[in-house]
């Protein structure tokens, strides 16, 4: 949990400010998961800070949403073309993908539960 919090600070995810009187403030919470190895043993405990997106208001702190999901047909087709030409097929995985995106909207979030800075309530 401390690690995840430090990562968010290093990432420059937010700056602490005094409360603007009219802002729509969204909450957040920690979600804990146990990552297991293939044999069922515990690999590590994972903590992820998650915003309460249901506090958000369209047009105020979010404008458009879109979730890119590739069609199975496209995957099968690309694999088929690759196999037919004897190409290389490589896979990569982006870590903490959603933490890298930049926000175009003004989004205000209450301070992280368990990590309160007394100067900026």
Partner 1 sequence: MCKLHKSIYGLRQAPRAWFSLLTDKLQAIGFKGSQVDNSLYVYQHGSILLYFLIYVDDIILAGADLNFINHVISLLQSNFPIKNLGELSFFLSVEAIRSDEGLYLSQHRYILDLLRSKMDKSRPSITPMSTSQILNKSDGALFHDPYLYRSIVGGLQYLSFTRLELAFVIHKVSKYMHDLKELYWVAVKRILRYLKETISHALLIQPDHLLQLQTVIGAD
- Which residues contribute to the site for partner 1 (CB under 8 A)? 8, 11-19, 23, 25, 28, 48-53, 56, 62-72, 74-76, 78-103, 105-112, 120-121
Positive or negative, the CA dihedral 7, 12, 107, 21 is positive
- Indicate the Cα dihedral angle 71, 37, 97, 57, nearest 10°: 80
Buried b (16+ CB within 10 A) or exposed e, 36-56: eeeeeeeeeeeeebeeeeeee
In the numeric block, the tokens 């369209």 are attached to 58
Q: For partner 1, which is the closer residue by CB, 41 or 101?
A: 101
Closest separation in Å from C-beta 33 to partner 1? 12
Closest separation in Å from C-beta 69 to partner 1? 7
Closest separation in Å from C-beta 102 to partner 1? 6
Q: For partner 1, which is the closer residue by CB, 2 or 74?
A: 74
Q: For partner 1, which is the closer residue by CB, 41 or 57?
A: 57
Classify residue 107 by burial, with Cβ atoms within 10 Å: 0-12, 13-18, 19+: middle
Closest separation in Å from C-beta 39 to partner 1? 13
Q: For partner 1, which is the closer residue by CB, 41 or 91?
A: 91
């Amino acid at each position: 949990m401390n690690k995840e919090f430090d990562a968010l600070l290093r990432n420059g995810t937010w700056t602490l400010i005094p409360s603007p009187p009219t802002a729509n403030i969204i909450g957040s919470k920690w979600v804990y998961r146990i990552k297991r190895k293939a044999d069922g043993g515990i690999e590590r405990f994972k903590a992820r800070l998650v915003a309460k997106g249901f506090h958000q208001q369209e047009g105020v702190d979010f404008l458009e949403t879109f979730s890119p999901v590739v069609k199975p047909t496209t995957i099968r087709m690309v694999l088929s073309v690759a196999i037919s030409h004897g190409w290389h097929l490589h896979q990569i995985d982006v870590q903490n993908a959603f933490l890298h995106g930049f926000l175009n909207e003004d989004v205000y979030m209450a301070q992280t539960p368990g990590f309160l800075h007394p100067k900026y309530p």
